[in-house]
Amino acid sequence: MLEVRSLSKHFGGIQAVDKCSFVAERGKITALIGPNGAGKTTAFNCISRTMAPSAGEIRLDGRRIDTLRPYQVTAAGLSRTFQISRNLADMTVLENVICQSKIHGWRDLFRPAMSAEEIDKAFGILEFLGITRIANEDGSNLSYGQKKLMDLAALLMSDPKIILLDEPAGGVNPTLLEEIIGHIRKLNEQGLTVLIVEHNMDLIMRLSHRVVVMAHGRVIADGTPDEVRENPDVLDAYLGGALEEAA
C-alpha cells in the first residue's frame, strides 16, 4: 500500500534520512524501529508531508504523495499521530475528534459545526476505544494516556486506509499499553494497514508482521520480527559493538 523509495532528508550538512526505501504491505502491521537519532520520526514527517523530503518518492496505492500538502495526504487515505499529543486544549474530546472529519467541499460551510451524523460516528469510535465517558471533557483535563486514545480516535474519524502511529505506547502505564495493543490489533483485523514507530520492543515483536530497522538514516534490515531479532547488524546498531567486545 505504501512505498518509500530512496527517501532522503537533510538539514544543512546533516543527513537525517539517507536513501531510505521500504514498503508497508496492505492489511499488515509494519514497524519502523531503530536507536535514537536513526531518522524514524523524520521519515514519518516526510511520509505524512508535515515535512518536505529533500529527495525520493513516496507512493500510496501507486499514487505519488510526496508532492501533496498534508491535508491532501489525509484526503488520500493516510493519517498519523504524533509523539506528543496535538489536541486542541480548549475543546472537548468530542470536538477534537469531529475536527478530523473528512471535508466534502464548500457545501460544508452551510452545515452545522457538528452534524448528527458526525456525532454518531465520533461516539462509535469513542465507544470502540472505551472512552465515551470523557467525550465532554476538555482536552486540557486529560491524562497523558487519555490524550493518546483521543489522538487515535481523531485519527480514525478521517476514514484512513493506512495509519502511522508515532510511539503510541510512549509514557503510558502497562494496563493502558495492553489496551492500545488490543485496539491496534482489532483495527488491523478489520483491514486497516498500520505503520508504527515505537521503542517498546515487546509491543513491536507481539504486533508486527514485518519490521524495518533504521540506523544513521538508512535501512539496515527488513524482515519478520524473528529475522530482525537475530540480525547481527541490528544488534550492533543498538549495542554499538558491545556484543563483539564482550565476546
CATH number of the domain at 70, please.
3.40.50.300
What is the residue-wise DSSP string for 157-199?
A: HT--SEEEEESTTTT--HHHHHHHHHHHHHHHHTT-EEEEE-S
Q: What is the pLDDT of residue 239?
A: 63
Q: What is the pLDDT of residue 155?
A: 92
Residue 141 lies in a domain: no
Q: What is the pLDDT of residue 196?
A: 95
Q: What is the pLDDT of residue 112?
A: 65
Q: What is the pLDDT of residue 88?
A: 76
Residue 180 lies in a domain: yes
Q: How many separate domains does the chain show?
A: 1
Residue 59 lies in a domain: yes
Residue 139 lies in a domain: no
Please, what are the averages of pLDDT over each run of 10 residues along the chain (247 residues)?
Answer: 96 92 96 91 94 96 94 93 80 90 60 79 94 91 89 92 91 88 94 93 90 93 91 80 40
Residue 45 lies in a domain: yes
Q: pTM score > 0.85 for this model?
A: yes
Residue 239 sits in which domain range?
A: 2-86+160-246
Distance separating alpha carbons of residues 70 and 46, to the nearest angstrom: 10
Q: Could you tell me if 136 and 92 are in contact, meaning their C-beta atoms sit under 8 angstroms apart?
A: yes
Residue 100 lies in a domain: no
Q: What is the pLDDT of residue 111?
A: 64
Residue 25 lies in a domain: yes
Residue 219 lies in a domain: yes
